[in-house]
Structure 1
Amino acid sequence: MGHSQLEKQKTHDRIVEIASRRLREKGLEGIGVADLMKEAGLTVGGFYKHFSSRDDMVAEAMKLAFGSWEAKVRSEGRAPTDVPMAEYSANYLSEVHRDDVSGGCPFAALTADLARSGEKCRSLATEQLKTNLGNMTDRMSAADEVEARRKAIIVWCLMTGALGLARIADDEKLSDEILETARSFVNDFSAK
């Protein structure tokens, strides 16, 4: 890759990273191209050198967001499937994750937005949801695969919903109580 192509790729990656964080923070419609490019230190006209449409940029940013936890775990030298359920739920249902909307789980931050998003974004979300449920199923204590899958769906719904509700609460004590109650339930429900 030539120098200019390498620079273009770095700029593209920077735009996608900023978009990934801002979309989780502000919603899929919460940031416009002009504001995004300004934050990246670029002009609006440069946007179309990197993306054919805003929808393409949103899809790429969401793909990055969906893979961010796995990438973080791999950067620590671990496989995502090796993270025990108790550790996973403790991290997911933590005050740190609650307070890091822009760097956190896109499902908890954007459930309603993703449901209303375009075909490409919904397809990416669906594929990641299948991956997450598959990984969660492997962590469940159950008599058989059907029961493990059922428990995985319940746990995933509980965790994303609890994180979202904890973020809504402007009463920190209530917010912490939601997280702690969900963590406790998840650990009891999924224990192997």
Structure 2
Amino acid sequence: MGHSRQEKAASHDRIVRIAAGRFREAGVDGLSVAGLMQEAGLTHGGFYRHFGSRDELVAEALDEALAQSRATVAAAREAGAGYDAIVAEYLSPRHRDAPGAGCAVAALASEVGRLQDKPREAFTHHIEASLDGFLRLLRETNPAATRADALLAVTALAGAVAIARGVSDPALSDEILQGVREKLAALAGPDA
């Protein structure tokens, strides 16, 4: 007996969610379709009932990973977190040490430029939304904050986490997170 539309949609969503996490952990090229389908509890052959190509999966999974990143920040904001708290959490050892659950930008920025147009468009949309969000966040404590300040914050956050994950010296990794956190605090204004 065939799967219902609801079951197929649920399976599709599960594949995309799992792929989003695996992309953050191992990169786009580190994802095995066979391994992904096995983890989703489906057969390898079933992949093409859900996606026309691997590129289609990449586009959807990147979009999902970016949406998960936005949702994490939105949840922190709803819980009352301001700029300093969001920066501190982003630049925490916990975030650095959990790429599969962390920010898709820090995990995948270096790969996105080599992808097709659709994933790059999703990435661009996410970066624009992040810039707008960080500018609003900065202006809560520093009304003079500019788009350039938001650009600095967003790129420094993602870059710091990416580099902190890449270095082999744990002390240097911690120093990167702490140093960038201290410098980004200045963007919030003198009274923050």
Same fold (TM over 0.5): yes
**Unpaired runs of at least 5, structure 1:** none
- Which residue does 1:90 correspond to in 2? 88
The residue type paired with residue 130 of structure 1 is: E
After TM superposition, give the deviation of residue 29 of structure 1 in Å: 1.1
Q: Would you say the 8 A contact 2:73–2:86 is kept in 1?
A: no
Q: Would you say the 8 A contact 1:138–1:148 is kept in 2?
A: no
After TM superposition, give the deviation of residue 132 of structure 1 in Å: 0.3
Whole-angstrom CA distance in 2 between matches of 1:74 and 1:114: 23
Identify if the C-alpha distance between structure 1 residues 74 and 92 changes in structure 2 by more than 3 Å, giving closer, same or farther.
Answer: closer
After TM superposition, give the deviation of residue 71 of structure 1 in Å: 2.6
The residue type paired with residue 160 of structure 1 is: A
Whole-angstrom CA distance in 1 between matches of 2:179 and 2:100: 24
Q: Would you say the 8 A contact 2:76–2:86 is kept in 1?
A: no
Matching residue within 119, 134, 140 for 2:117 = 119
- Which residue does 1:61 correspond to in 2? 61
1:1-192 aligned within 5 A: 4-72=4-72, 78=78, 83-140=81-138, 141-143=142-144, 148-191=146-189
The residue type paired with residue 190 of structure 1 is: A
The residue type paired with residue 37 of structure 1 is: M
The residue type paired with residue 183 of structure 1 is: R
Whole-angstrom CA distance in 1 between matches of 2:151 and 2:89: 18
Q: Would you say the 8 A contact 2:14–2:40 is kept in 1?
A: yes
**Unpaired runs of at least 5, structure 2:** none
Find the residue that maps to 2:113 and give its secondary structure.
Answer: helix
Q: 4-13 vs 134-143, which deviates more? A: 134-143
Equivalent pairs counted in the alignment come to 185
Whole-angstrom CA distance in 1 between matches of 2:41 and 2:49: 15
Find the residue that maps to 1:69 and give its secondary structure.
Answer: helix
Whole-angstrom CA distance in 1 between matches of 2:62 and 2:16: 9
After TM superposition, give the deviation of residue 34 of structure 1 in Å: 1.4
Whole-angstrom CA distance in 2 between matches of 1:77 and 1:125: 22
> What TM-score comes out, normalization by structure 2 length?
0.89
Q: Over aligned residues, Cα RMSD in angstroms? A: 1.9
Whole-angstrom CA distance in 2 between matches of 1:26 and 1:69: 17
The residue type paired with residue 159 of structure 1 is: L
